[in-house]
Amino acid sequence: MFGLDKKDATLLVIVAILTLCAPFLLNPFPSESALAQFNAGYPDLMQRFVIFGIFAIGFNILFGLTGYLSFGHAAFLGVGSYSAVWMFKLLSMNVIPAIILSVVVAGLFSLLIGFISLRRSGIYFSILTLAFAQMSFNLAYSVLTPITNGETGLQLTLNDPRILGQSATADGSIPVTSLFGLEMRSTYELVMGPWAFQFNAGYYLCAVIMVLAFYMSIRIFRSPFGLMLRAIKSNQTRMSYTGLNPKPYTLAAFVISGMYAGLAGGLMASMDPLAGAERMQWTASGEVVLMTILGGAGTLIGPVLGAGFIKYFENIFSKINDTVLHSWFSFMPDGLENLVVMLVYPFIGKGWHLTLGLMFMMVVIFLPGGLVEGGQRIRRLFRRKDDTPAAKTEPAE
């Protein structure tokens, strides 16, 4: 199916079903229950899941296949966001031209940075990409303010000279992004008893694009080009001795990865037409590294799992405060309740990074292959139990 073998086609179908059914899967608890705060089925968070999933899928093509660790991919995310917002300001509020421009500009920018950075390998390559990302951040923050609007960020105004659309709506407000008239913020809410499910147009646009991006990553992984990238990761020196030049392949992987990042940046701006320099900071680059390693570098679905895992922690666990903890442990005696809250509170709320760091350490130590390896171990465990032959009783002689 779609040029994929049975295993890859099954994986693609599973990802598509999970993505399209996310409003149901991410709202397992009734709206009025105490556990409803663990629901993640609201549009903004679901959009982040799939957008950062695209970002991580693209990064995995570079890091997972070639072994080149880039600490500057946030630069392409930011460039994609700025390009999309400028397209909204100058041309139209339709998201398609903005997304196309973000991918093209990010691809050209990654071609320039990759051509220079890939002259080195290992830690030197990583430092070069980090330096370029920080240069881009400082340029956007303080130097190129006519283009980026500096620390305030680039956003839409009522004075934008929009060629194919109106600068202001009938009520005097700024137009919203849309897909041929379908507003990205439009949401349909389905109420089923105590459950409420939200179906957002912007999310489903991002979800469809993520499924297509995932399909493209599968084709890249299984192609001769993907095999060449794996050979570079395995032994680049031996590959050079065979007469093959690895530089064009690594540069192509770098550009493809940068275009994925630009696509994610364009989608972020399409959902919320605002671009800021903070998207280019080294912390954003480090975040996609964590996503990829946590999910499983070099695997197909691992980066998507890692992106969802980290964004869930960032948006759900960070909202738990001491008041919520006291409500959870209110059945305990006062002294014990206060003690438990005091012990748990540093790991949630503003301290959610501590929990994430500890979990990342455990994954790196015990599951070097990430969450995907954990799932494979569990599957092998159950398969081993199923394959255990039943005890046979021999007749007595």
- Helices 370-387 and 302-315, axial angle in degrees (round to 10): 110
Tens-digit pLDDT profile for residues 330-360:
888 888 888 888 888 888 877 888 888 888 8
pLDDT band at 162 (very low <50, low <70, confident <90, very high): confident
**Average pLDDT, integer, range 128-132:** 93
What is the radius of gyration, based on Cα positions, of the chain? 24
Position 150 scores a pLDDT of 86
Position 365 scores a pLDDT of 86
CB count within 10 Å of CB 345 equals 17
Higher pLDDT, 394 or 46: 46
pLDDT band at 397 (very low <50, low <70, confident <90, very high): very low
Q: 358-364: long-range contacts (C-beta < 8 A, 24 or more apart)? A: 359/294, 360/290, 360/293, 360/294, 363/293, 363/294, 364/293
Report whether pLDDT(229) > 90: yes
**Average pLDDT, integer, range 120-140:** 92
Q: 205-208: long-range contacts (C-beta < 8 A, 24 or more apart)? A: 205/95, 205/179, 205/267, 205/270, 206/47, 206/50, 206/51, 206/54, 206/267, 206/271, 207/19, 207/20, 207/22, 207/46, 207/50
Higher pLDDT, 181 or 230: 230
Residue 84 CA to residue 267 CA, distance in Å, equals: 8
Q: Which of 227-236, 257-266, 313-322 has the lowest mean pLDDT?
A: 313-322
Residue 59 CA to residue 108 CA, distance in Å, equals: 16
Residue 223 region, left (φ>0) first, then alpha (ψ -120 to 50), else beta? Answer: beta
Work out the mean pLDDT of the chain and round it to a whole number.
Answer: 88
Give CA 296 to chain center in angstroms.
Answer: 13
Position 387 scores a pLDDT of 65
**Average pLDDT, integer, range 363-376:** 85
Position 389 scores a pLDDT of 59
Report whether pLDDT(142) > 80: yes
Quote the percentage of the chain above a pLDDT of 90.
43
H-helix or E-strand containing 274? Answer: strand 274-275
Position 388 scores a pLDDT of 59
Phi, psi of 191 (to 5 degrees): -105, 125
**Average pLDDT, integer, range 53-78:** 93
Q: How far is CA 243 from CA 238, 240, 246, 250, 283, in A?
A: 9, 5, 9, 16, 39
Tens-digit pLDDT profile for residues 17-46:
999 999 999 988 888 877 788 888 888 999
Residue 98 CA to residue 265 CA, distance in Å, equals: 10
Residue 103 CA to residue 84 CA, distance in Å, equals: 9
Report whether pLDDT(61) > 90: yes
Residue 277 CA to residue 82 CA, distance in Å, equals: 9
Position 396 scores a pLDDT of 43
Any idea how long the chain is? 397
**Average pLDDT, integer, range 375-380:** 85
Q: How far is CA 209 from CA 69, 72, 202, 213, in A?
A: 25, 23, 11, 6
